[in-house]
Amino acid sequence: MATRIVNDLRSHYRAWGRGKGTTSERFIELLTDDATFRSIGGGANLMEFTRTHRTKDDVRAYFAGLARDWEMLFYNVSTFLVQNGTVAVMCECAWKHKQTGKTVHTPKLDVIRIKDGKIADFFEFFDNHQAAAACRAEGECTVPADPKPFNGQGQSRLETEVTVATRANVNALKHLYAQYAKTKGASIQSILELLAPNVVWGSLSAGTYPLAFSRTHRSREEVAEYFRGLSEAFTMNYYDVREYVAAGPYVLALSEISFTNKKTGKTFVSPKADFWRFAGGKAVEFYEFFDTAAVMASAA
């Protein structure tokens, strides 16, 4: 991939955070004329601006809606993961809703596709269940009004090199996901064997009721509890990994999944992104992104 667009993206994200969300035109300049801009928000009620946009003027409408309804508190980027025509951007952000005064604090993942040195497709993951709740005046907000970053505010990391270890990590995950899908989630032991003893295992739902099993886990034994909770609450319909994006110690697995809630009988379908970090052939960090609103709706 051309170095220029990667540098332009890094510059945009720095300006976006420092300018507290006032520099959207810099991003729009990086788009192709027919770029697609998509969000896990999906145009939901009270977040209509998150619908899919297909022209630059349409994308301007997204940023206008964002600026109308939300005030940025902070926006930090930890990692740029670059392979071929894809850039994955790992972020953390906090926003305050201007009408309700409620705060959202969420990890964020942007998956960007590059064509001829421009952005041709953009998709963002964030905790859309938490964001939707912040849009409503009723209900209690559990997020502090002045949240602090989970991971501080250091320099972002750029990963572009595909090493022998990177390829080995991807191959291990390909085998792992194939078994997980084939057994409908029963191949837990093979997953645990890939993890470092002190692995950090996080989820976008972060233990929100009734998904207590999705809290952050900090050991291989605790991750086993995650899978026990998942299997008690949901039945897997399918888990279809579509793509791996990898460089350095990181692997991003992009999938579509479907599960049925055992208690309610409701089924959800969601895009999913699993962000892995490896050291010495073992996974030391994992974070999963998905449609939290769809999962929570299946439990209601």
Q: Write out the DSSP string of 270-292.
A: EEEEEEEEEETTEEEEEEEEE-H
Taking the domains of the chain in order of start, what are their residue ranges? 3-159, 164-299
- pLDDT score for 285: 99
**Type and span of the H or E element at 165:** helix 164-182
**pLDDT at res. 27:** 98
pLDDT beneath 70, residues of the chain: none
Supply the pLDDT for residue 151.
77
Q: Give SS3 for 183.
A: coil
Q: Tell me if domain 3-159 and domain 164-299 are identical in fold.
A: yes
Quote the pLDDT of residue 108. Answer: 99
pLDDT in the model for residue 150: 85
User: With the C-alpha atoms ordered 112, 113, 119, 123, is the resulting torsion angle positive or negative?
Assistant: negative
CATH fold of 3-159 reads Nuclear Transport Factor 2; Chain: A, (3.10.450)
Q: For residue 161, what pLDDT is reported?
A: 98
For the entire predicted model, the pTM comes to: 0.97
Q: Which CATH number, 3.40.50.970, 3.10.450.50, 3.40.50.300, 3.40.50.620, labels domain 164-299?
A: 3.10.450.50
Residues 141 and 295: their CA atoms lie apart, in Å, by 19
